[in-house]
Amino acid sequence: MDKTTTFPSALAGFEIEGLTEADAPRLMPLYQSCQDYVVLERGHLPDATVVLEEIQSFPPGRTEADKFVFGLKSATGDIVGMLACDRDYPKEKSWWIALLLIDPAVRGQGVAKTLCGDFFGWLKTQGADCVELAVFAENEAGLRFWEGQGFTSVRTAGPVRIGTKQHSMQVLGRSI
């Protein structure tokens, strides 16, 4: 599985592309349109460092080889969503979702729900049996979204400092 790996999706009018560090500038417009989320996460507006940091950060024991960043491209070629994840964390056969970000212009249409459903279906074909993630306690909408996708609480985590913010987090998980 290399960085250009993608997964089949039922999302009509969109294409999924495996992204690398070289694609960081292409993700900037998405981060800018999602600046409310970036400010919630870091306490400051998005810049090029924030995008690179997402691509270059790995959970404990994982490396660059386990990081996959999927971009969701609209028919015009713009990246309107991203799903960043880490393979085999916190344990083998479990994948960790580092970030799911959808452009506000295409929110509320079932895009994230379909993207996740397609992603989880593909992960299963790759031998995975579980997905976990951490949502900031402050991100109540994000928590509701994940609960709607069948995730339940695993544990609390933190505090963790990101930018000028300090977060406590809810770790959620579900089997796939």
Ligand X SMILES: CC(C)(COP(=O)(O)OP(=O)(O)OC[C@H]1O[C@@H](n2cnc3c(N)ncnc32)[C@H](O)[C@@H]1OP(=O)(O)O)[C@@H](O)C(=O)NCCC(=O)NCCS
Which residues in the 67-96 window bind ligand X by CB under 6 A?
none
Question: Can you tell me which of 130, 135, 169, 172 binds ligand X, judged by CB under 6 A?
Answer: 135
Give min distance, CB of 170 to ligand X, in A: 11
DSSP 22-38: GGHHHHHHHHHHTHHHH
What strands lie across the sheet with 152-162, from one edge to the other? 15-19, 67-73, 79-86, 94-102, 130-136, 165-175, 152-162
Binding of ligand X by 35 (CB under 6 A):
no
For ligand X, how many residues bind (rule: CB under 6 A)?
Answer: 20
Give min distance, CB of 169 to ligand X, in A: 10
Instruction: Report how far residue 14's alpha carbon sits from residue 77's, in angstroms, rounded to the nearest whole number.
Output: 9
Q: How many residues does the chain have?
A: 176
Give min distance, CB of 128 to ligand X, in A: 18
Kind and range of the H or E element at 123? helix 111-125
Instruction: Report how far residue 23's alpha carbon sits from residue 21's, in angstroms, rounded to the nearest whole number.
Output: 5
Question: Can you tell me which of 7, 31, 37, 95 binds ligand X, judged by CB under 6 A?
Answer: 37
Stretch that binds ligand X, among 23-31, 67-75, 88-96, 134-142 (CB under 6 A): 134-142
Binding of ligand X by 38 (CB under 6 A):
no
Contact between 109 and 132 under an 8 Å Cβ cutoff? The reply is no
Nearest Cα neighbor of 149 from 132, 164, 161, 169 is 132
What does the per-residue mask of binding to ligand X show for 91-110, with x meaning CB under 6 A? --------xxxx----xxxx
Stretch that binds ligand X, among 11-19, 47-55, 111-119, 153-161 (CB under 6 A): 111-119
Question: Can you tell me which of 70, 89, 120, 145 binds ligand X, judged by CB under 6 A?
Answer: 145
- DSSP SS3 for 75: coil
Q: Which residues are near ligand X by CB under 6 A?
A: 34, 37, 99-102, 107-113, 135, 139, 141-142, 144-145, 148
